[in-house]
Amino acid sequence: MHYNLIMTITNDYKSQINQEFQQALKARSLANEGQARVCARRAAGIAIGEYLKRREISIPGPSAIKRLRFLINLPGISPEVIHVSEHLLLKVNQDFKLPSDIDLVEEAKWLVQELLGESY
């Protein structure tokens, strides 16, 4: 029983990330790109939390935005991770849009793969 509880806690980030990506795709299917972006950012934030935990680095709170900003400033982070993290931090324009070549859901999936070695 104790082992199962530990596995549940350890793998909880996986179910949270998966749930965020599922919600992102559902929002996108309903033409709610704003909500899809929010879910993508939250998935990235969860992955960053797990990445920091594995490296025994204090997590800067639950906010995905704070975690993304923290990640960008960590020593040794690759330019690619910084670039994608900066995309996830972009603000929308007056029409509530990002540049058309940026897909935050796909970029968040890439970031999770890069940080944790796991695909979603």
- pLDDT single digits (tens) 63-95: 999 999 999 999 999 999 999 999 999 887 777
Residue given tokens 């330019």 in the structure block:
79
Answer yes or no: are the C-beta atoms of 60 and 73 closer than 8 Å.
no
Domain holding 49, by residue range, is 2-116
Q: What's residue 91's pLDDT?
A: 82
Low-confidence ranges of the chain (pLDDT < 50): 1-9
CA Rg value for the chain: 15
Q: How many domains are contained in the chain?
A: 1
User: Is this structure's pTM higher than 0.85?
Assistant: yes
Long-range contacts of 17-21 (CB under 8 A, 24+ apart): 17/43, 17/46, 17/47, 17/112, 17/120, 18/120, 20/46, 21/105, 21/108, 21/109, 21/120
Domain containing 87 — which CATH number?
1.20.120.330
Q: What's residue 11's pLDDT?
A: 64
Q: What's residue 2's pLDDT?
A: 42
Residues 6+ apart with CB under 8 A from 119: 109, 112, 113
